[in-house]
Amino acid sequence: MLQAYWYIAKMRILTTIAYRFEVFAAVGSQMIIMLAAVYLWKTAYSGDTSSTTMQLNQIVTYTIISILLGSVFICDVQDTIYHKIREGQIAVDLYRPIMLLGSYLADDLGTMMSSVVNKVLPLFVLASLLFEVPLPDSFTSFLLFVPSCVLSYAILWLLSAIVGLVAFWVMELGNMGMVKDSIVRILSGSIVPLWFFPSSVQTVSQFLPFQYTYQTPLAIYIGEISPLDALTAMGIQFVWIAALYALLYVVWSKAKKKTLIQGG
């Protein structure tokens, strides 16, 4: 059974190697975003820095790692489900013997593995050459960072799966995943950490899952959060994972029921 999943992941890796231009283009894309973000911050910090205690090098590291995480947090499941529904393929897939969502996860994990080699490595090297090596604040920070990332990915993936499945009901409205991505991008702290935002926004954000996807692990990495607070944050991540998992389960069952009645 596990072999089937491994095979799927391996196919992904093979495909990615074959498409080296795509890889160059993707790395290039991320480099542009990184350049723009870092230079924006550098320009900002050349102005009046009195309103913040954060150092330039901290925010640069934050930005670089944020982009690396973005390359690695693959959630293609969202688009996959959407397109399969649009093309009426989903009924066919439901007949396959392995768990459908599980296979999508295997797909994404496979892409993630090749992304680490294809994207993260070159991006890390380029960033180190152009700016500075984005080192974690301390060894402890790094130790806490890794599990937090895993939890972040879980939250993102579950969210993407749910949004993708929503297409079952609102397919005609187009790809809602794009909408969700734009919201996540800003509210997750991936572009600008939330503590730069007005306090009203920060309060609301605490009750949403988004800041726990990027900001939490990133803040841990640069040492803005004490280890104790980090563990608390990870606890909250767990809570969100549980909640989203439950939601996904409900949505998935409803979706399956709908397909079996309507036939894809």
**CA–CA separation, 115 and 120 (whole Å):** 6
CB of 39 to another protein, least distance (A): 5
User: Which lies closer to another protein via its Cβ, residue 33 or residue 247?
Assistant: 33
Q: Please report whether residue 48 would count as binding another protein according to CB under 8 A.
A: yes
Among 124, 197, 245, 252, binds another protein (CB under 8 A): 197
How many degrees, rounded to 5, is the angle at CA 66 between CA 244 and CA 40? 135
Residue 174, interface with another protein (CB under 8 A)? yes
Q: Report the distance separating Cα 258 and Cα 256, nearest Å.
A: 5
Query: Please, what is the end-to-end C-alpha distance for the chain in angstroms?
Result: 26
CB 56 within 8 A of CB 45: yes
Which among 146-154, 170-178, 234-242, 255-263 is the span making contact with another protein, rule CB under 8 A?
170-178
CB neighbours of 151 closer than 8 A, spacing ≥ 6?
A: 212, 234, 237, 238, 241
Total number of residues binding another protein (CB under 8 A)? 45
- For residues 131 and 35, what is the distance between their CA atoms, to the nearest angstrom? 9
The residue among 179 and 260 lying less far from another protein, judged by its C-beta, is: 179
Cα gap 126→121, rounded to integer Å: 9
Shortest reach from residue 236's CB to another protein, in Å: 24
According to the binding rule CB under 8 A, does residue 39 interact with another protein? yes
Nearer to another protein, 36 or 98 (CB): 36
132 neighbors 42 (Cβ within 8 angstroms): no
Q: Which of 1, 2, 43, 262 binds another protein (CB under 8 A)?
A: 43
Residue of 100, 113, 176, 208 that binds another protein (CB under 8 A): 176
Which residue from 138, 158, 145 is spatially nearest to 234, judged by alpha carbons?
145
**Residues within the interface to another protein (CB under 8 A):** 10, 13-14, 17-22, 25-26, 28-29, 32-33, 35-36, 39-40, 42-49, 51-52, 172-176, 178-179, 181-183, 185-186, 191-192, 196-197
